[in-house]
Amino acid sequence: MASIQAAITGVAGYVPDYILTNEELSRMVDTTDEWIMTRIGIKGRHILKGEGLGTSDMAIVALRELLRKTHTAPEEVELLICATVTPDMQFPATANVLADKAGILNGFGFDMAAGCSSFLFALETGAKFVESGKYKKVVVVGADKMSSITDYQDRSTCPIFGDGAAAVMLEPDTDGYGVIDAKLMVDGSGRKHLHQVAGGSCYPATMETVAKRQHYIYQEGQPVFKAAVSHMADTAVEIMERNGLTGESIDWLVPHQANVRIIEAVGKRMGLPPEKVMVNIERYGNTTSATLPLCLWDYEKRLKRGDRLILATFGAGFTWGAIYLKWAYDGDKVA
């Protein structure tokens, strides 16, 4: 019997309407459009505005669209994994909130947090449930409201992040399409360079933690940059080599969108021309768990059945990894 692989059979995304431009940011902190474009490559980022709105309010739009596109009734979904570092609340999981909003009543769900690698880790996890043969409809969501933990007084982090959500459907395939190989890694010693000090069990919210602005992203850019380039490139190249792939045989690199210079360096190490590298950071910034599925969503119409994709990421933790998958459908035929 042919082995079961987990194929992506649909993708949908959502970004909120409001666009925070570099021009507006330069009135909030000491920065310029020129610095942000040359050092990071971001022009604008979408921000979710509105009292009481959270990650699930973006994710539900993407999820409903995904169910429509894949002709899936909510009751058919057996597992929903929500990759996020900005859950609606500490508990219950945002997956539960989403399941309720979407009417997913016959399955289970949970959140997965692995910094900017959350979606890739969740994709591999979801794939395993499908490969086991037990589950036929698994949804993997990547969603973050990064504006909720971004300090708009800190010029070294506030230009980077944006809000967004996207989701993919995973279904069994026995014709060789879907997730073929993955390598996922953590190195917890990197956590000192990128974290949020307060709001967890070590430092629950107090007047002092708020006054010290400890509920925001803390990042030392340089060491994170260096680790991101080397780990993403090394892992993607390892995945290429052990699957007999070359720059020619790969159709697309789907890289985490943290910095256009990181993306270019990884593409170069893999021997890929720029036109094979998905890039949308200019419009969205770093949406953390949403970057990879938002790329798939933006490029869906150009994807063909049989295309060879490498997804690669790096994030807080440190966490990183790469997945090799064969695309399962012609994106231009999707209504």
- Tell whether residue 43 is a contact of ligand UT7 (CB under 6 A): no
Catalytic residue among 116, 158, 259, 295: 116
CB of 312 within 8 A of CB of 232?
yes
CB of 18 within 8 A of CB of 144?
no
Q: What is the dihedral of CA 240, 244, 250, 254, to 10 degrees?
A: -20
Q: Is 46 a known active-site residue?
A: no
Q: Calculate helix-pair angle for 221-242, 260-269, nearest 10 degrees.
A: 30
Q: Which residue has the tokens 């593409």?
A: 267
C-beta closer to ligand UT7: residue 179 or 316: 316
C-beta closer to ligand UT7: residue 34 or 175: 34
CA 124 to chain centre: 13
Q: Is 295 a known active-site residue?
A: no
C-beta closer to ligand UT7: residue 64 or 261: 261
CB of 311 within 8 A of CB of 122?
no
Strand partners, 277: 253
CB of 322 within 8 A of CB of 232?
yes
- Tell whether residue 258 is a contact of ligand UT7 (CB under 6 A): yes
Residue with nearest beta carbon to ligand UT7 = 221
Q: Calculate helix-pair angle for 118-131, 291-299, nearest 10 degrees.
A: 70
- Tell whether residue 225 is a contact of ligand UT7 (CB under 6 A): yes
For the CB of residue 321, give the shortest distance to ligand UT7 in the complex, in Å.
13
Listed ranges 48-56, 69-77, 247-255, 258-266: which one lies at the site for ligand UT7 (CB under 6 A): 258-266
C-beta closer to ligand UT7: residue 156 or 243: 156
Which one, of 159, 169, 1, 151, lies nearest residue 73 by Cα?
A: 169
| Cα(259)–Cα(278) distance, integer angstroms | 13
- Applying the rule CB under 6 A, the residues between 169 and 208 that interact with ligand UT7 are none
Binder of ligand UT7 out of 64, 155, 215, 268 (CB under 6 A): 155
- Tell whether residue 279 is a contact of ligand UT7 (CB under 6 A): no
Q: Is 256 a known active-site residue?
A: yes
For the CB of residue 39, give the shortest distance to ligand UT7 in the complex, in Å.
5
Q: Tokens in use for 63?
A: 């999820």
Q: Tokens in use for 31?
A: 């920065």
Peptide bond into 161 cis (omega under 30): no
Binder of ligand UT7 out of 20, 47, 79, 224 (CB under 6 A): 224
- Tell whether residue 40 is a contact of ligand UT7 (CB under 6 A): yes
CB of 252 within 8 A of CB of 310?
yes
- Tell whether residue 27 is a contact of ligand UT7 (CB under 6 A): no
Binder of ligand UT7 out of 92, 199, 221, 306 (CB under 6 A): 221
For the CB of residue 5, give the shortest distance to ligand UT7 in the complex, in Å.
28
Binder of ligand UT7 out of 70, 125, 286, 287 (CB under 6 A): 286
Which residues sit at the interface with ligand UT7, rule CB under 6 A?
31, 35, 39-40, 116, 155-156, 159, 221-222, 224-225, 228, 258-259, 262, 286, 314-315
Annotated catalytic residues are 116, 256, 286
